[in-house]
Amino acid sequence: MLDDENKRVDKQEIDIVTAGDTALTRICGRIDIDSSPALRDRFLALFEAPYAKVVSIDLSAVTHIDSSGVATLIEALRIARSQNIEVRLQGLEGRLLRLFQSTGILSLFNGNAPTNTQSGWKVV
């Protein structure tokens, strides 16, 4: 998508679905310096909710991530751990997967755990 000045604009969408004490956060679009604050706010609200014990972050629809986006994910992990919440990454492929592997960030998260997407999830 292009704006009036022919600059690329990707709208970020953040969907959070819960089932019991587990939450799936699906991020679509760009995670960059402009969108990171909104993502951080959504994570903070999710971690404050009493039901979140395991949070899976699906990055399969992320089109771009910059250093502020990576920092936001690491900050979310730090905050979650301080509240005894497990954070998992999923949907990493191609360039994103190589970035997270080569920087060692992937080893901080549990990116291989399956996430239940069957009935029982409710949108928050």
Each residue's pLDDT tens digit, 98-118: 999 999 899 898 644 443 333
Q: Which two tokens stand for residue 124?
A: 């928050």
Each residue's pLDDT tens digit, 41-94: 999 999 887 778 999 999 999 999 999 999 999 999 999 999 999 999 999 999
Verdict on whether the full-model pTM lies above 0.85: no
Confidence of residue 21 (pLDDT cuts 50, 70, 90): confident
Kindly tell me if the per-residue pLDDT of 119 is higher than 70.
no
54-65 and 86-90 beta bridge pairing: parallel
Whole-Å CA distances, 96 to 7, 38, 116, 117? 23, 21, 23, 22
Written as one letter, the residue type at 121 is W
Per domain, the residue ranges of the chain are 13-104
Determine the length of the chain: 124
Which homologous superfamily is 13-104 in? STAS domain (3.30.750.24)
> How far does the chain reach from its first CA to its final CA, in angstroms?
27
